[in-house]
Amino acid sequence: MHEEARASDGACVRVPSASRALTRRGFLAASALGLAAALAPALPGCSTSKNVVVGTAGDEVVDMRLTFFGFKYEPLNVAAIEDILRDYMDEYPNVSVSYEGIKSLPYYEALVKRLDSGSGDDVFMIDHDTALSFEKKGYLADLADLPTISTFSRLALDQMEAGGAILYVPTSISAFGLYCNTDLLAAHGIEAPRTLAEFERACDAFLADGVTPLVTNNDISLKTLAIARGMAEVYAADNVRERVAALSADPDALAVQLRPGLELVERIVERGYVDAGTALDTEKTSDDLDQFATGRYPFMLTGAWASVRVHDMAPDLAYEVHPYPVLEDRPVLVVNVDTRVSVNANSAHVEEAKEFAAFLTQPSAIERFANSQCSFSPLEGNAAPDDAPLQPLAGAFAAGAVVGADDNILLPVWGALRQSVVSLLGGATAAQAEDQLRSLLAEGADAS
């Protein structure tokens, strides 16, 4: 059984499904439908129907077994991880590495419980807010001596070195964009919007025809739109580092900076550009893609990594992914230096786990893994993904971008802003959402 992926020329290529079994130095990957009972003890407090476990299938004797825990569970991503693990174990035949991946929200619940209980994996994926928490708890090993550090781009290093010690290595730079159904837009004589006014005119035109213009999920969609609107002038400033530093530990200043973004989300909800009730129940990279794949919606807000899924779900759907049209004069690209991999400082195999992290971030592995996620490379040159609908993002990346979860901001903005946007979808005003955001950021500052 196979999944289809989209090649750079738009043709479909075949990649192994996550349910395939391979022989020695191969892997066993299966969905939670078949492994739910076996996984339950390993995943305390979480439940999902999309667990993927990858483990060595052979019975050869090895000297060491490492475990790698992450939130990448899609078949194409897992296939890329399989290839990298296979290459690693071919080079280090005395070491066995197993990978286990589940969807992001239950993943973090399980990750925290594992590490807090002292049973954490050797290597695991983290995000901005988790890194802040885990650094305080002493869970993250310093990776500054990895031989691959010098190969990362300036953008990636600015994030990795923000706290002094390097506590993670990124394997991708994800981008967030406006998915545009080009056939539907063309039928209405509308071009992909580049400015806020163009976007609002397009949405009004579709509303007039009885079409809800925008698909959003209840996690990253409107949150990253608010960041684009609120933080664009900060990242466009000549003194961007000073501006970011001023916001770093000042909850009030950061909440005020993001107020225009909250106001934009409020306006989108009030005007009916998005069905707020549906959005509250729409899961990221799941329900939102189901909706957009029907071809009935002109726009969707989500990560570029979802493009492969859209190809698979709707092979005949013509679409492009553009930067967010949130300013009066230009669009804004939001990116994250992410799929961050850390080593458990309390692992019994810290040095071997660091050696694996170095292998995972060598150029050949990064190229394979980042492209499988339709993401930019974090290495020098920041190579763009080869997925054709994402090319508008590649041009915008070269012109500069807003960092959605900036490591130089020592406040949990990523999680706090999500809660504020959920409140807006529930009927809160921008002023109320700003107050909530300020309070959540202050709680994060107090915790530090």
Query: What CATH number does residue 412 fall under?
Result: 3.40.190.10
The first and second tokens of residue 11, run together, are: 């043709």
Q: Are residues 330 and 357 in the same domain?
A: no
**pTM score, whole prediction:** 0.84
Distance CA 244, CA 372 (A): 31
In a domain, 50, yes or no: no
In a domain, 317, yes or no: yes
Q: Are residues 413 and 354 in the same domain?
A: no
Q: Are residues 393 and 369 in the same domain?
A: no
Q: Are residues 225 and 260 in the same domain?
A: yes
What is the identity of the amino acid at 239? N
Q: List the chain pLDDT tens, one digit each, 448 residues.
A: 333 333 333 332 323 333 232 223 344 433 333 333 333 333 333 333 344 555 544 556 678 999 999 998 888 889 999 999 999 999 999 999 999 999 877 899 999 999 999 999 999 999 988 998 999 999 999 999 999 999 999 999 999 999 889 999 999 999 999 999 999 999 999 999 999 999 999 999 999 999 999 999 999 999 999 999 999 999 999 999 999 999 998 999 999 999 999 999 999 999 999 999 999 999 998 999 999 999 999 999 999 999 999 999 999 999 999 999 999 999 999 999 999 999 999 999 999 999 999 999 999 999 999 998 999 999 999 999 999 999 999 989 988 999 999 999 999 999 999 999 999 999 999 999 999 999 999 998 766 5
Spacing of C-alpha 134 from chain mean position: 19
Q: Are residues 71 and 180 in the same domain?
A: no
In a domain, 364, yes or no: yes
Distance CA 322, CA 125 (A): 28
In a domain, 34, yes or no: no
Q: Are residues 320 and 358 in the same domain?
A: no
In a domain, 265, yes or no: yes
Domain coverage including residue 302? 174-336+389-447
Q: Are residues 166 and 183 in the same domain?
A: no
Distance CA 209, CA 205 (A): 7
Distance CA 279, CA 291 (A): 11
In a domain, 110, yes or no: yes
Q: Which residues are CB-neighbours of 154 under 8 A, at least 6 positions away? A: none
Q: Under a CB-based contact definition with an 8 Å cutoff, are residues 408 and 418 in contact?
A: no
Q: Are residues 162 and 231 in the same domain?
A: no
Q: Are residues 261 and 406 in the same domain?
A: yes
Q: Are residues 280 and 411 in the same domain?
A: yes
> Measured between alpha carbons, how far apart are the two ends of the chain, in Å?
48
Q: Are residues 288 and 437 in the same domain?
A: yes
Q: Under a CB-based contact definition with an 8 Å cutoff, are residues 155 and 173 in contact?
A: yes
Distance CA 385, CA 307 (A): 11
Q: Are residues 293 and 229 in the same domain?
A: yes
In a domain, 261, yes or no: yes
Distance CA 277, CA 256 (A): 27
Residue whose pair of structure tokens reads 């957009």 in the numeric block: 292
Domain-ending residue, one of 318, 348, 373: 373
In a domain, 115, yes or no: yes
Per-residue pLDDT, 62: 78
CA dihedral 13, 15, 17, 20 (to 10 degrees): 140
Domain-ending residue, one of 324, 348, 373: 373
Reduced 3-state DSSP string for 125-187: EECHHHHHHHHHHCCECCCCCCCCHHHECHHHHHHHCCCCCCCCEEEEEEEEEEEEEHHHHHH
Count of structural domains within the chain: 2
The CB-side HSE value for 60 (13 A sphere, CA atoms) comes to: 17
